[in-house]
Chain A
Amino acid sequence: MGKKNIEIKGIRDGILVEISSGDWKKREKELLDHIKNNKQFFKGGRLALDVGSHKLKTDRLASLRNALSDQNITLWAVKSSSLVTERTAQNLGLSIRIQQSTAEQQGEFPSSTIEGEEAVFVQRTLRSGHKIKHVGHVIILGDVNPGAEIVAGGNIIVWGRLRGTVHAGAKGDEEAVVCALQLSPTQLRIADKISISPAEDRKVEPEIAQLKDGQVIARNWNSRSG
């Protein structure tokens, strides 16, 4: 074997371990054995994993995290080319982006995407502590609770109650909009403008928020066409 199955690199945020493809159970054992043999090096460390194309469900990733935690190692990020794994990592509250250099960062959040092309669709309630960051549009089927956060390069559409913090047009797009069945966010940002919901009880009706003359304006969805 020319390339090692497990590659260990130092990055700004701690240690990055790259795991090659193949049988996950084997790779996991190799990693844990390696850590056991190099206890001093890993002890108390923050670990990021690049698992490549491994498809990991919650039980596998959680058991690895627990095993690492037993060794006093904090798993904080999992990078993967598999959407399943990315979603699992997000569900477990792990980061899915590992900052290596500014160049790579820009690559992950390009400023020149065509509007309305890319979107993520999330069908569940976003609870406090959940965060969704996407270069394109974000569509949520469910509620966005206080303490949850959405940052989108494009528009944000919530088919449910929006009570968390949202940032549409995060890359500076002033045309971005936020709409929700009930629009009462903790904080709403469009491009570089920040607004908060009025204190009084709002009517429960679909609304759309957008920038008008540099101010965030929310309007009833029905009156929009008129």
Chain B
Amino acid sequence: MAAKVITITSGKGGVGKTTATANIGAALAKGGHTVACIDADIGLRNLDVVMGLENRIVYDLVDAVEGRCRLKQAMIKDKHIPGLFLIPSAQTRDKNAVSPTDMIRLCDELRSEMDYILIDSPAGIERGFRNALAPADEVIVVTNPEVSAVRDADRIIGIIEAEEKGPAKLLINRLNPEMVRHKNMISADDVVDLLAIQLIGIIPEDKNVIISTNTGVPVATDGKSLAGEAYRNVSLRLQGNTVPFMDLSKGSGLFGLISNVFGTGE
């Protein structure tokens, strides 16, 4: 079984790449797949925190790349979900400790044993981002419905196209249906219209996400959370299923799960 390598990136920082990686990883693993999440943000690691695995780190990505440990030793098993693994990044090094070639080699080593390899990219368009992009089979660009985030997403999508890793898929995070209704937030339609790439999911703003980030239990495992539901849908779409988009425009966005807003997505 050869794994699919999916890089999650954004350009702008703070839009939710790490949360998305943890949740998509959790949802895929819940669906019975083996998933390795790699934190490529060397020097500013936090995927381990979001996944609640910080205190289990012995070896990290740079150790594995520089041969201080075997790759297996750097892989941390998730506490709750079987088949979910984390390769944490180093906190005390910087992006130059790893090269794009290292990342390709590392992923190739993992491919035979995993179904999915998710790479959490650092913000920016420099070395760290190139590292995360190099081994990718598929790329997900995360953005918020904000002008600055969308602008950076556009830039990143351009670079991904130039590197022939495209077309990237779009994940809109932290959409607030209430604010969109009052025209205080850009709508998902407008974002898709500008970026003109395939939409893979819309994650509504949900305070459960913040709670789950703090507790280290991905919201995707929470059956009642709307954001969790949205992340599970993303994971289904990644597996090639057609899942209608949640209708977030009705009511206060609670259970308006009526099909189809943006077409089938395929």
Known: A62-B163, A92-B163. A127 touches B158 (CB 8 A): yes
Contacting residues of chain A (44-66) with chain B, CB-CB under 8 angstroms: 58-59, 62, 66
Taking a contact as CB atoms under 8 Å apart, the answer to whether B155 and A69 are in contact is: no
Nearest residue in A to B196 (C-beta to C-beta)?
Answer: A125
Nearest residue in A to B194 (C-beta to C-beta)?
Answer: A145
Q: Is the interface of A mostly helix, strand, loop or mixed?
A: loop
Partner of A128, one of B99, B130, B158, B162: B158
Taking a contact as CB atoms under 8 Å apart, the answer to whether B162 and A69 are in contact is: no
Q: Is A172 an interface residue (CB 8 A)?
A: no
Q: Which residues of A contact B152 (CB under 8 A)?
A: 128
Question: A52-84 CB contact bits vs B (8 Å, 1 = yes)?
Answer: 000000110010001001101000000000000
Taking a contact as CB atoms under 8 Å apart, the answer to whether B101 and A70 are in contact is: yes
Contacting residues of chain A (83-103) with chain B, CB-CB under 8 angstroms: 91-93
Known: A58-B162, A58-B164, A145-B194. A127 touches B155 (CB 8 A): yes
Taking a contact as CB atoms under 8 Å apart, the answer to whether B151 and A146 are in contact is: yes
Count of chain A residues near B, Cβ 8 A: 20
Question: B131-171 CB contact bits vs A (8 Å, 1 = yes)?
Answer: 00010000000000000000110110111011110000000
Q: Which residues of A contact B194 (CB under 8 A)?
A: 145-146, 163
Q: How far is the CB of B260 from chain A (nearest CB, A)?
A: 25
Q: Is A143 an interface residue (CB 8 A)?
A: yes
In whole angstroms, what is the CA distance A163 to B101 when docked? Answer: 37
Q: Which residues of B contact A125 (CB under 8 A)?
A: 196
Contacting residues of chain A (104-132) with chain B, CB-CB under 8 angstroms: 125, 127-130
In whole angstroms, what is the CA distance A72 to B126 when docked? Answer: 12
Q: How far is the CB of B193 from chain A (nearest CB, A)?
A: 9
In whole angstroms, what is the CA distance A72 to B151 when docked? Answer: 29
Q: A70-B99, A146-B194 provided; 8 other pairs, C-beta below 8 A? A: A59-B164, A62-B164, A69-B130, A127-B154, A127-B157, A145-B154, A146-B154, A147-B151
User: Could you give 26 example pairs across A and B, Cβ below 8 Å?
Assistant: A58-B162, A58-B164, A66-B99, A66-B100, A66-B101, A66-B134, A69-B99, A69-B130, A70-B99, A70-B100, A72-B96, A91-B162, A92-B163, A93-B162, A127-B154, A127-B155, A127-B157, A128-B151, A128-B152, A128-B158, A129-B154, A129-B155, A143-B196, A145-B154, A147-B151, A147-B155
